[in-house]
Amino acid sequence: MVRSYNDELKFLEKLTANKWRIKKGFVANMNVEGVFYVNNALEKLMLDELRNACRSDGVGGFLPGIKQIANVAALPGIVGNSIGLPDVHSGYGFAIGNMAAFDMDDPTAVVSPGGVGFDINCGVRLLRTNLSEKDVLPIKEQLAQSLFDHIPVGVGSKGVIPMTALEMEEALEMGVDWSLREGYAWAEDKEHCEEYGRMLNSDPSKVSMRAKKRGLPQLGTLGAGNHYAEIQVVEEIYNKFAAGKMGIERKGQVCVMIHSGSRGFGHQVATDALKAMEKAMSRDKIDVNDRQLACARITSQEGQDYLKGMAAAANFAWVNRSSMTFLTRQAFAKAFNQAPDDLDMHVIYDVSHNIAKIEQHVVDGREKTLLVHRKGSTRAFPPHHPLIPVDYQLTGQPVLIGGTMGTCSYVLTGTEQGMTETFGSTCHGAGRAMSRAKSRRNLDYQVVLNRLEEMGISIRVASPKLVMEEAPESYKNVTDVVDTCHAAGISAKCIKLRPIAVIKG
């Protein structure tokens, strides 16, 4: 029976100005409650999506985000809450911007590829430079073109970093260590990577030949969709001490942000795992509310195989972002006729926002080992956490929040409150507000390009339709998203960045 919108609202409770609760009973079989973080503007988007779903069959083929958060709360072995971050929107199985943690000591606990996403270890890397905006503006167009020429972009783009099948196997196992060995990375790059750029449980033998064939030609490629490389300038510094630790000293300082993932390789790993898990669910009699939440017991063969294959895809993504860092350093060196280290092109940090990882967290006063799924959600560990680099022990982990084409991006830092409330997790970006198809129908290519030009943003794009799909109107307001996380205390604002040039697939 389909409930009316007013009946649905009876299961939702506003706890604070920025936090809502989803009570048990909102969907069947909830093991824990759901929560989601929004401000007034984002709240309206979330509730409108639910209201529209009460009138029709879901949102563009997906259930509304609130329903998806609740369905995740019904998965076996979940602890705490199923959590929706402010950028949450409908996705495959899990909402994008939904995180959930599962008790490794519970034999029924599951791992779900839908809780990681198809683009495994899609993530963001931020490089700083010692350049100022005034240094870049006279050659901005040439620099944008140089980046576009150096980094292959678009669907099916082929990489310029040569790689044999044997080297691919090594890269899948070694992650950034492979890039270091091959001369594509600096030693400090590894220190400033989540997991130090290498998941140790990777096992390339658990990955299909089809995935490896798809990945082999794609190393050092940006891909399409919402992926980009952006030249940005520092617009605001909210926390001078933390920014200083990151090497950000002044407004107008130039940075480069790279947003990309594991390309066709990760997509194939996810597709293969979903097929295997449907069989495992039938064998182990695992019931889920939505078949897109295909999962397997963490301890099962299928669960372990997926985690090892996912780790290989995560390593591929770190090698990929390292390769694009190498190409970016080359592009800047060529444009300014200076060596990259003379330009101070250091990696501030590299975060993943599509991943599942084994972590220690306190649940109901007891420390537990959990499998934390973050899909469209970023790890945000607090100061003094043992898993963040020495450089950031006093500030908390840098959290990189990419905006949309033409809007600002942010660097946040992790907080103790985030550790307690959201398993050390926060938002990842703006989050879509309009489907890709609707964006193409409603927005005009030339209008969007003209507006970017008026804002002083140079753009190089491989596919014109992407300009509409990725236009700011297609997304929630990233400032609303970040301000909500800051107000809720789950992460803290540190730096605001403004784009001056962007390259996209």
Find all residues with CB under 8 Å of 469, minimum gap 6, and list them: 225, 436, 439, 440
pLDDT digits (tens, 9 = 90+) for 380-410: 999 999 999 999 999 999 999 998 878 999 9
Q: Please check the confidence at residue 420 and state whether its pLDDT lies above 90.
A: yes
Q: 485 pLDDT exceeds 90?
A: yes
pLDDT score of 152:
83
Query: β-strands 78-89, 110-111: how paired?
Result: unpaired
Share of the chain above pLDDT 70, in %: 97
Is residue 111 within 8 Å of 310, Cβ to Cβ? no
3-state helix, strand, coil in the chain (%, to 5): 40, 25, 35
The tens digit of pLDDT for each residue in 204-226 reads 999 999 999 999 998 888 877 77
325 is in an annotated binding site: no
Q: Of all residues in the chain, what percent carry a pLDDT higher than 90?
A: 81
Q: Is 361 annotated as a binding residue?
A: no
| Confidence label for 13 from pLDDT (cuts 50, 70 and 90) | very high
State the pLDDT confidence band at 57, using cuts at 50, 70 and 90.
low
State both tokens at 430.
Answer: 């703006």
Q: Pull the structure tokens for residue 503.
A: 């390259």
- The verdict on whether residue 384 carries a ligand-binding annotation is no
Checking if the pLDDT of 476 tops 90, the result is no
Tell me what pLDDT residue 326 has.
96
Q: How many residues does the chain have?
A: 505
Give the DSSP letter string of 277-309: HHHHHHHHT---SSGGG--EETTSHHHHHHHHH
Q: Judge whether residue 71 has pLDDT over 90.
A: yes
Q: Find the range with the poorest average confidence among 20-24, 115-119, 306-310, 430-434.
A: 430-434
3-class SS letters over 389-401: CHHHCCCCCEEEE
DSSP state of 62: B
Is 431 labeled as ligand-binding?
Answer: yes
pLDDT one-digit tens code per residue, 259-278: 999 999 999 999 999 999 99
Confidence category of residue 61, pLDDT binned at 50, 70, 90: low
- Statement: residue 144 has pLDDT above 80: yes
Active-site residue, from 89, 192, 267, 428: 428
Which residues, 6 or more positions from 169, have their beta carbon under 8 angstroms from its beta carbon? Answer: 204, 212
User: 3-state SS of 429-458?
Assistant: CCCECCCHHHHHHHCCHHHHHHHHHHCCCE
346 catalytic per annotation? no
pTM assigned to the model? 0.95
| Averaged pLDDT score across all residues of the chain | 94
Residue 228 labelled as part of a binding site: yes
Q: What is the pLDDT of residue 318?
A: 98
Tell me: the pLDDT tens digits for 150-161? 998 866 677 778
Q: What is the mean pLDDT of residues 344-371?
A: 98
The predicted structure's pLDDT at residue 307:
99
With a cut of 70, say whether residue 59 has pLDDT above it.
no
The predicted pLDDT at position 350 comes to: 99
Give residue 297's pLDDT.
99
pLDDT tens string 307-320: 999 999 999 999 99
pLDDT at residue 475, rounded to an integer: 74
For residue 76, give Cα distances in angstroms to 114, 353, 371, 477.
Answer: 14, 23, 12, 34
Asked if residue 353 belongs to a known ligand binding site, the reply is yes
Known binding residue 403? Answer is yes
Average pLDDT over residues 339-366: 98
Give the confidence band of 165 by pLDDT, cuts at 50, 70, 90: very high
Is the pLDDT at 58 greater than 80, yes or no?
A: no
| pLDDT exceeds cutoff 80 at 467 | no
Q: Which domains does the chain have, with CATH numbers?
A: 5-106 (no CATH), 122-504 (3.90.1860.10)
| 504 marked as part of a ligand binding site | yes
Which tokens belong to 3? 């409930």
**pLDDT score of 505:** 73
Question: How far is the C-alpha of 402 from the C-alpha of 315, rounded, in Å?
Answer: 21
